[in-house]
């Protein structure tokens, strides 16, 4: 995709998933969207809306089709639309041949087929979304469960953008004050008390950004590293299995339930694929021995998993008592096979293992690799979402920390201003206030057509 796409073009694309379905939505945006969408349309009923789109039921004559097609036509006047331009949607039966005929007709009337992410790009260029929210749209599209969806919707609602924009505005005020002192050198410098207060404010801001970077790192997956999370009851052998898969004693192993109070991570190579393996606390009721924090951390990791290893054993208190991410790709693992064999003759769907003697560890590695290779590419596209924001926030934090240290050491205001501006620019890049074409290409080229 080229960022230089002409926003004065009228673009059209299928906005719903391709293939047969009860309904398909074809979307248009641009100066002639309303005119082109109305060609061949005959209204039979209108549902006006003063605060939103005008929706009309009717029929649409499509060239090459022997009869008029029942449709609904929605019209949004710019700038009160998703893209900030005139926008139209044609709702019709989800037949791929009909959709192809309609798109061909729209192109003949002067529309251009949209590129990947071009509708959301226009929303960004019109100021309807900042860059973090545009990425959140992509995350919503590819959400694989409640955990992913909740995080994406939080970002879409400005959960990341608002605090960063507020901090950036404050830094702009601070930089302006410092630059005023440089421009009018005959004026007295900022007082020592003022410099101490400014250093404290910059240090506090840097600390807040460091904490935000940590939160983003905890929530987002490492680039191209699918998450494999071990869950199950306490004392089900999860930590021993974790150590056996990693090939080192990373997790504490003890016969008492509740040994794991946090979560542990390690990078694992599975058939040439790098995965992040995560050991979590056992699933127990909230009033049991494990602290609520350990349970919350386990739940967070499980909901963000690409693959769950659901561990059971004869010594693992039977079935887990508590929630489990049922919407996740799962491998059922029987652990401690050296102490107790699998309890039935039917072991289909289970991988039987023993961390003590190594039985089944190789088979489990193979099963992990096959499961992740079989996962849809769209399910793993979200791996890099947030990486750009995380890097920018971390760079801004480093710049503010340098500025605070420079003030504390009595450096000149010009040095302090330089680092403050670096932080402002980094936050601007995260929010899309400082626009770089290659960044926009990377963001919007990951969208599907019609979004």
Give CA–CA dist 230/337, Å, rounded: 17
**Mean pLDDT over all residues of the chain?**
76
Residue 150, pLDDT score = 60
Residue partners of 262: CB distance under 8 A and separation at least 6: 281, 294, 297
Q: 277: closest CA among 247, 299, 255? A: 247
Task: Quickly state the pLDDT bin for 28 (edges 50, 70, 90).
Answer: very high
Per-residue model confidence as pLDDT tens digits over 191-220? 554 677 788 888 888 888 887 777 666 555
pLDDT: is 26 or 223 the higher one?
26
At the top level of CATH, the class of 136-219+385-432 is mainly alpha
Query: Using 50, 70 and 90 to split pLDDT, how confident is the model at 120?
Result: confident
pLDDT of residue 48: 72
pLDDT band at 152 (very low <50, low <70, confident <90, very high): low
What residues does CATH 1.20.120.430 cover in the chain?
136-219+385-432
pLDDT (mean) for 102-120: 90
Predicted local confidence at residue 257, as pLDDT = 44
Q: What is the mean pLDDT of residues 325-331?
A: 69
**Alpha-carbon span 47 to 52, nearest angstrom:** 11
Query: Among 76-80, 212-216, 351-355, 379-383, where is mean pLDDT lowest?
Result: 379-383
- What stretch of H or E contains 41? strand 41-47
User: What count of other Cβ atoms lies within 10 Å of the Cβ of residue 173?
Assistant: 9
- pLDDT of the residue at 147: 57
Beta bridge partners of 26: 14, 90
Concatenating the DSSP letter of every residue in 62-98 gives: -TT-SSPEEEEEEEE-TTSSSSSS-EEEEEEEE-HHH
pLDDT at 39: 92
Residue 109 CB burial class (10 angstroms; 0-12, 13-18, ≥19)? middle
Tokens of 134: 């545009």
What pLDDT score was predicted for residue 219?
54
Distance CA 208, CA 404 (A): 14
Reported as a pLDDT band with limits 50, 70 and 90, residue 390 is confident
Mean pLDDT, rounded, for 428-440:
70
Residue 376 pLDDT more than 60? no
Ramachandran angles phi, psi of 84, nearest 5°: 80, -5
pLDDT value of residue 318: 45
Mean pLDDT for 382-394 is 67
pTM of the predicted protein model: 0.53
- Supply 288's token pair: 């049991």
231 vs 218 pLDDT, higher one: 231
Residue 234 or residue 93, greater confidence: 93
Per-residue pLDDT tens for 266-312? 888 887 777 888 887 655 444 444 455 455 555 666 676 788 899 98
Q: Are 144 and 381 in contact (CB under 8 A)?
A: no
Q: Are 236 and 281 in contact (CB under 8 A)?
A: no
A 10 A CB-CB count for 215 gives 13
Q: Is the pLDDT of residue 36 over 80?
A: yes
pLDDT at 202: 86
CATH 3.30.1360.120 boundaries in the chain: 11-129
Which pLDDT score is estimated for 256?
45
* pLDDT tops 60 at residue 401: yes
Q: Return residue ranges of the chain for CATH 3.40.50.300.
A: 233-375
Distance between CA atoms of residues 302 and 328, nearest Å: 9
In whole angstroms, give the CA distance from residue 74 to residue 420: 47
pLDDT given at position 177: 74
Q: What are the DSSP calls for 110-155, one per residue?
A: T-EEPPTTHHHHHHHHTTSS-HHHHHHHHHHHT--SHHHHHHHHHH
Spatial separation of the C-alpha atoms in residues 265 and 247, rounded to whole Å: 13
Phi, psi of 345 (to 5 degrees): -80, -15
Confidence of residue 183 (pLDDT cuts 50, 70, 90): low
| pLDDT score recorded for residue 288 | 46
Query: Which residues neighbour 126 within 8 Å (Cβ) at sequence distance 6 or greater?
Result: 79, 83, 84, 85
d(CA 238, CA 254): 11
How far is 403 from 209, CA to CA, in rounded Å? 14
Note the pLDDT of residue 276: 84
- Which range, of 37-51, 88-102, 373-387, averages the lowest pLDDT? 373-387
What's the confidence (pLDDT) of residue 281?
63
- 11-129: CATH number: 3.30.1360.120
The number of beta carbons lying within 10 Å of the beta carbon of residue 135 is: 29
Local confidence band at 445 (pLDDT 50, 70, 90 cut-offs): low
Cross-strand pairs, 89: 27, 74
Reading the block at residue 95, the tokens are: 């037949």
What's residue 433's pLDDT? 75
Asked if residues 403 and 420 have their Cβ atoms less than 8 Å apart, the reply is: yes
**Cα angle value 105/109/110 (rounded, 5°):** 120
Q: How many angstroms separate the CA atoms of 312 and 303, rounded? A: 19
Residue spans of beta strands (DSSP E) within 302-444: 307-312, 330-334, 350-352
Topology classification of domain 233-375: Rossmann fold (3.40.50)
The pLDDT-based confidence of 428 (bands split at 50, 70, 90) is confident
């Amino acid at each position: 995709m080229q960022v230089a796409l002409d926003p004065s073009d009228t673009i059209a694309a299928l906005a719903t998933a391709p293939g047969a379905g009860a309904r398909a939505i074809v979307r248009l945006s641009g100066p002639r969207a309303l005119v082109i969408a109305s060609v061949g349309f005959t209204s039979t009923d209108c549902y006006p809306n003063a605060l939103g789109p005008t929706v009309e039921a009717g029929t649409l004559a499509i060239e090459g089709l022997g009869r008029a097609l029942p449709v609904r036509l929605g019209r949004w006047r710019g700038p009160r639309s998703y893209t900030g331009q005139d926008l139209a949607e044609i709702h019709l039966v989800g037949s791929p041949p009909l959709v192809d005929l309609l798109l061909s007709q729209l192109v003949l009337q002067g529309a251009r087929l949209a590129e990947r992410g071009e509708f959301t790009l226009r929303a960004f260029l019109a100021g309807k979304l900042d860059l973090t929210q545009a990425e959140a749209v992509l995350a919503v599209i590819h959400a694989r469960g409640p955990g992913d969806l909740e995080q994406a919707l939080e970002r879409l609602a400005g959960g990341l953008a608002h605090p960063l924009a507020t901090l950036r505005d404050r830094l702009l005020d601070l930089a302006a004050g410092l630059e005023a002192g440089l421009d009018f050198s005959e004026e007295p410098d900022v007082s020592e008390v003022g410099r101490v207060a400014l250093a404290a404010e910059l240090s506090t801001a840097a600390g807040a950004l460091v904490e935000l970077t940590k939160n983003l790192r905890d929530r987002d997956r490492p680039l191209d590293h699918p998450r494999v999370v071990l869950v199950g009851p306490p004392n089900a052998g999860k930590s021993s299995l974790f150590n056996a898969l990693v090939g080192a004693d990373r997790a504490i192993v003890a016969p008492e339930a509740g040994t794991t109070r946090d979560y542990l991570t390690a990078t694992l190579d599975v058939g040439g694929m790098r995965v992040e393996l995560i050991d979590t606390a056992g699933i127990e009721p909230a009033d049991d021995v494990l602290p609520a924090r350990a349970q919350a951390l386990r739940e967070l990791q499980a909901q963000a998993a690409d693959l769950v290893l659901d561990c059971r054993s004869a010594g693992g208190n039977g079935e887990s008592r508590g929630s489990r991410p049922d919407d996740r790709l799962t491998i059922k693992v029987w652990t401690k096979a050296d102490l107790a064999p699998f309890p039935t003759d039917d072991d289909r769907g289970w991988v039987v293992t023993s961390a003590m003697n190594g039985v089944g560890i190789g088979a489990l590695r193979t099963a992990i690799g096959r499961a992740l290779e079989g996962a849809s590419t769209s399910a793993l596209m979200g791996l890099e979402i947030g990486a750009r924001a995380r890097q920018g926030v971390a760079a801004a934090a480093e710049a503010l920390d340098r500025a605070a240290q420079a003030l504390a050491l009595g450096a000149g205001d010009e040095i302090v201003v330089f680092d403050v501006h670096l932080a402002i620019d980094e936050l601007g890049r995260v929010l899309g206030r400082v626009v770089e074409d290659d960044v926009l290409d990377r963001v919007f080229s990951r969208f599907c057509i019609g979004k």
